[in-house]
């Protein structure tokens, strides 16, 4: 294991709920929270200067989801403004466990939210694995990327420790 969770502020991605995100009951379809989480992780990487396509083409690597656990607390509705967070919980040389949350921002749109304070809607952990883009076999996360992804972790290993033996 390379690193564990930190108290660093998580990356936050703003998101608006559209018609396409809702179900017949007018609330966000539960599986769409996984899409929201994926978008936030993609933008988190982009904010660090790494596009997913760039990594696939230049580094011949991709991230795939190997495990996920979600807990739903409150519904989101059409036009709600959300903030979806990304925070590294644990990192190894080939995998990463990421804690994510979806928060309702601004004025609530439904009767189940009693104040204008941000309200936690859903939270989960997503385990991602690094794979070779051609073979889909597990591979190590490149040191430069692992260093950047774990830079806010107090127990993060220096690049020298993350190198292949």
Question: Active-site positions?
Answer: 23
Do the beta carbons of residue 31 and residue 98 sit within 8 Å? no
- The DSSP symbol for 108 reads -
Beta bridge partners, 103, equal 83, 120
DSSP letter string, 113-163 = --SSS-EEEEEEEEEEEEEETTT--B-PPPHHHHHHHTTT-TTPPPHHHHS
Rounded Cα distance, 25 and 43, in Å: 29
Q: Where are the beta strands (DSSP E) in the chain?
A: 3-4, 11-16, 61-72, 81-91, 95-105, 119-132
């Amino acid at each position: 294991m390379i690193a564990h969770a930190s108290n660093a502020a998580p990356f936050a991605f703003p998101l608006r709920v559209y018609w396409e995100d809702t179900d017949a009951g007018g609330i966000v379809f539960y599986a769409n929270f996984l899409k929201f989480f994926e978008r936030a992780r993609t933008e988190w990487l982009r904010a660090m200067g790494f596009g997913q396509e760039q990594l696939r083409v230049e580094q011949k690597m991709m991230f795939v989801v190997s495990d996920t656990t979600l807990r739903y607390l409150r519904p989101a509705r059409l036009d709600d403004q959300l903030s979806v967070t990304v925070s590294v919980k644990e990192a190894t040389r080939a995998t990463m466990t990421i804690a994510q949350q979806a928060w309702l921002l601004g004025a609530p749109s439904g009767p189940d939210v009693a104040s204008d304070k941000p309200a936690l809607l859903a939270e989960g952990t997503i385990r991602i694995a690094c794979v070779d883009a051609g073979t889909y076999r597990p591979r190590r996360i490149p040191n430069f990327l692992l260093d950047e992804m774990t830079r806010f972790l107090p127990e993060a290993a220096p690049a020298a420790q993350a190198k292949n033996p």
